[in-house]
Structure 1
Amino acid sequence: MEQRFTFDDVAALYGGVRPTYPEALFDDIAAFAGLDGGGAILEIGCGTGQATQGFARRAFSILALEPGKELIGIARENLKGFPHIRFAETTFEAWPGKPETFKLVMAAQSFHWVAPDVRFAKTAEQLAPGGTLAVFGNVPTPPAPPLAAEFARLYSRYAPSLSGPPLEAWYLPEGAFAKLLGESEYFEPAMHRSYPWSRMHSAESYTDLLRTLSSYRLLADDRREALLAAIAEVIVTRGGMFELRYETHRYMAKRRREK
């Protein structure tokens, strides 16, 4: 199974524990893309609809793509009150496309899964002249001491493969995505912004969140559960709650005009 398809196995949990996105982000994207005057949105990989809802509440028309049967089922239920939202159960790669149809193509925590050979080229094809690509992702920062050191010790013991930077680091300004977008022949120079925020976690809510991450899904079941049990024990020992800080990194770029 491809790593990106592991989320469907924990769709209900995913929908309940995955973080959403700051409201200011949706306003910034809508303003930059000129959505107040109308125009359709294409979403690549909607999951259970966390980002979809942010645009749906602003009454925009959206076509949301999602290959996971369970995930898209939850998204449909979550957004059933918005008749201007449509869904297609497919990957972006397999979707036939609607060239020059959309004012905005957006991807929330999903663009790193799109095949590199179509990532920018096919996206640009779907955009109307002057259209916008918006890509954003939540990047967790290490917890405050002493949890950071204690977590690092547990990863070294139970899952050394997870000891490095998280997959989400792809969205950092020094990460791969910013470089790839900057080198793309299909888009103008991007505008970047970081939105810092945080949420409180208990041992249960944090380990449930980790269970939805693809890198943890790929661990052997016994190793994953041993790691998560040890993490939960540390959190309980340290008071039962902790603050996890995030940065939401957002990139917006206009489709490059034809030469």
Structure 2
Amino acid sequence: MTASAQRKGEYKTLLVTTKNKITKIMLNRPDKKNAINLVMYREIMQALEEAAEDDSTLIVITGCGDYFSSGNDLSNFGEDLLEILKNNGNWLRNFISHFIDFPKPLIAVVNGPAVGISVTLLGLFDIVYASDKAVFQTPFTQLGQCPEGCSSYTFPKIMGAAKANEMLLFNKKITAEEACARGLVTEVFSDSAFQGEVWTRLNAYANLPKNSLAVSKQLMRSVEKEILHAVASRECDQLLERCFSDECINAIMSFFQKKSKL
């Protein structure tokens, strides 16, 4: 998509454009490896709400720079704890619900490494295309936390319990090719051809009948929507408990101590 694309709204952490019936939501904190802070969480929800109502056929989420997203911005951990406490975790439930309930085809274009919630959410996308430079990791237990983004349900369903356990319990980092073999990624492209091939394909998809695509997606999602909302609620309850545990706080402190020595 070029600079001639119509820019949507004013965002601090995103670049949102619409062109050729495709709304592209680009995570735009490249200096922070597109780490997700509270502002970005709110802006992603806003962008999805607007995209659900606009004239676009497809919605694409991708990252600016070398990373898709490095996950939660742990530098805001203290601020996030206060927000979690104030809202009893409802903002995170609401965030996940935006993906569960999104009415149009939702496509992830994973341009580089993906960590944490940027990986777990992929189970809620309709298509995931990845560069061969992408890697995927969910280091929850390493940080004293637990899975979110409905991954405690979607990952075992997509890749089987044993492979899901490697990622969600034991923090295994996998390549794009491994993620594709496990069913988390739809297709992998060489990085040099990634943008050209993916966008050629997406532009063709965007010319399919818009309402037919939306109705078909909603029919497929309706079978599990109630389950997904229940899973997201249970995960949020556990995350709330984990975030205030000594185990989690000590793991986060240890993470920053190691980071400061690098």
Greater per-residue strand proportion: 1
The structure that has the greater radius of gyration is 1
Same fold by TM-score greater than 0.5: no
- TM-score norm. by structure 2 comes to 0.26
- Name the structure, 1 or 2, with higher relative contact order (CA <8 Å, separation 6+): 1
Greater per-residue helix proportion: 2
